[in-house]
Amino acid sequence: MKTIIRKATKTDLKQVLDLVKELALYEKAPQEVTVTIEDYEIDFNNNVFDVIVAEQDKHIVGIAFYHMTYSTWKGKMLYLEDFVVKEELRGQGIGKLLFEAFLKEAHNLNVNLTKWQVLDWNEPAINFYKKYNATIEKEWFNGKIIL
């Protein structure tokens, strides 16, 4: 089946949110997804984030969800917030297409760094990123405050 890689449009956001929820379930934290489709629509319209989608037969089967940020050490940075391919389609090269489209977007935006998080137990993801010579940091802890 042919996979089309393209930028998301507003009409894709429901399927994007569904994939985010699928990822949260895989990461054993489905209750953590509290964002609404209305939030997505408002923030997408305000250019808070962007999404590259993988599409097959007019269905979104994978996403690279990202936003611009800034590193005080490196300058402009593209942060990959979520990266997921439907579980039943993993291992077919869709993730490679999406990740390389994300890296191309980073290059086009002239950023100095891309960054993301990966759970320490997610060996398939860690091994995927290592194929790109990614540095998987182990020294830093994540901090957050939910408002």
Q: Which H, E and C letters describe 59-126, residue by residue?
A: EEEEEEEEEEEEECCCEEEEEEEEEEECHHHCCCCHHHHHHHHHHHHHHHCCCCEEEECCCCCCHHHH
Long-range CB pairs of 133-142 (<8 Å, 24+ gap) are 142/117
- The answer to whether residue 79 is catalytic is no
One of 66, 79, 129, 132 is an active-site residue; which one? 129
3-state secondary structure of 28: coil
Q: How many other CB atoms sit within 10 Å of the CB of residue 65?
A: 23
CA 147 vs CA 2, 34, 70, 144: distances in Å: 42, 12, 22, 10
List, by residue number, the catalytic residues: 129
